[in-house]
Amino acid sequence: MEIQNEDLQKAVEIINRLGEYYEGKVVGQKFLGFSLIVAMITNGHILLESVPGLAKTTAAKVMTEAVNGKFSRIQCTPDLIPSDIVGTQIYNMKENTFEDKIGPVDANFLLLDEINRSSAKTQSAMLEVMQEKTVSIGGHKYELPQVFVVIATQNPIEQEGTYVLSEAQQDRFLLKVTLDYPDTDAEIEILNRIEKDVFSDVRSVATVEDIVFLQNLCKEVYIDDSIKKYIVNIVRATREPDKSLPPELAQYIAMGASTRAAIAFMEAAKAVALINGRGHVTPDDVKVMRYPILRHRIMLNFSAIADGVKEEKIIDALLGSVPTP
């Protein structure tokens, strides 16, 4: 069914308000804001990685403020246990009964700060909640809100006291975005905004209901069979590097992407089309999300690390080997 023009126009207005609010608070990380909006529209989860102090936490909080949703933040530490996140049973002395108490996962937007500092057991509990969107306490199952987006951050340079997410666990995230240092002008602008205290002006420019509207509309975005085949060919190329890459690059891939990568490509491409005011997907909508979708789903071997070969170089070569429809 074709999307009505008035629905498309409403979606563009909501998305523009979100983008303007984000850019009014965060400097020099435009693609991060774009990716956060894609995650919200697809109801997917996003992993942010960079050295400390590059606005990972700030960006997550700003975007959740914009929609006035229920927000929870968990500062992950090695002594954090699953019940601290999911919830537990509490004894009520007055009633002489145990009551189920849901943890901070009961939110529209959950920020897991430095997820790689929590233990493997806690990470597994959180990733299960992300997949199932339900929690079980005392034999009872509780549904999480319809809009449930996990924004996890991790610091790649500090290894002491951290528990690195495995490739299988990272695959649960729709997107992985890596951040780099801002340029000189952007860093000066950051100082100016801190001086003006722009973060004290907290206001909502949309609602959770608006996000639900965008999510439902995103499902109606048309994607042609030729684009689906293009997505599948990209994912298959990661699994058969000897056929798609020159030997000097093919040697670096230890394992390709799963079918979840193809699903992520399709969902993200639909969201990108909606952000661009279209009711149909183009090949460019697929290409623009190639890094955040594939960088945590392609496993490179030790030779790649030793030679300083990055995932982005492999991804560009892979897409170059697949004909564009």
Domain 18-194: state its class: alpha beta
Compute the Cα dihedral for 153, 29, 14, 38 and give only its sign.
Answer: negative
pLDDT tens sequence across 155-196: 776 555 566 777 778 888 999 999 888 889 988 988 998 888
Enclosing H/E stretch for 142: strand 140-143
Q: Which residue has the tokens 């992300």?
A: 130
Domain 221-321: which topology? Helicase, Ruva Protein; domain 3 (1.10.8)
3-state secondary structure 84-101: HHHEEEEEECCCCEEEEE
pLDDT tens sequence across 212-241: 999 999 999 999 999 999 999 999 999 999
Whether 21 shows a pLDDT value over 80: the answer reads yes
Residue range(s) occupied by CATH 1.10.8.80 in the chain: 221-321
pLDDT the model gives residue 132: 86
Phi/psi for 250 (5° steps) reads: -60, -30
pLDDT the model gives residue 129: 87
**Is this model's pTM higher than 0.85 or not?**
yes
b/e per residue 158-195 (b: at least 16 CB within 10 A): eeeebbebeeebbbbbbbbbbbeebeeeeeeebeeeee
DSSP characters over 158-226? --TT--PPPHHHHTTSSEEEE-----HHHHHHHHHHHHHTGGG----SS-HHHHHHHHHHHHT-B--HH
Q: Which residue has the tokens 């002491």?
A: 160
